[in-house]
Amino acid sequence: DSWTPECRSCSDISCTVKQDLPNSEQGIAVRSIVKRKKYNSVVFYDENGSRIGKFQWSKRGIFLTGCIACVTPRALKGKCIKNVQTLWVVSIYNGVLQIKIDGEILYENRLMGECLEKYSKTKRFAFYGMPEESSYSFVADQMEAGEKIFSTGCA
């Protein structure tokens, strides 16, 4: 699956994918080019479509709005080859933010306190400013696509 320019920055609830991320071992699998200065961004929403925060990462840093701001670990950077799409998975299963590549956990941070409370309400996500050639894996038994999202992208 992939998305068109509208879905890359659409904040309408119909552009979101419904998924119970805090209880999903699957997470969100994305294929994109990981660069040093350009961030891959996923916006998290609650059940009603209210924005909770944004997850962003690049070869330079990892951010989770209001909770995490750190340098990308060397092991994670090393898995991202210049100008080659990387299949990466982000999850917040059981209150732990993880980034995996090739099934290997390369970044992990346990959310606590207000951060755990805030992100445990994540029930939807959308992509923000992702390169057009990016794609994500739609898991039919765990996800429900918004009305503007189709297998070929957004309407």
Structure token digits, residue 107 = 């970044």
Whether the CB-CB separation of 148 and 155 falls below 8 Å is answered with yes
Would you list the DSSP string of 47-76? TTS-EEEEEEE-SSEEEETTTEEEEPPHHH
For the stretch 5-48, pLDDT in tens is 555 455 677 778 899 999 999 899 998 889 988 899 999 999 99
Nearest to 80 by CA among 36, 144, 131: 36
pTM comes to 0.87
For the stretch 47-90, pLDDT in tens is 998 999 999 999 999 999 999 999 999 999 888 888 888 999 99
Dihedral-angle region of residue 77 (phi above 0 means left; psi in -120 to 50 means alpha; beta otherwise): alpha
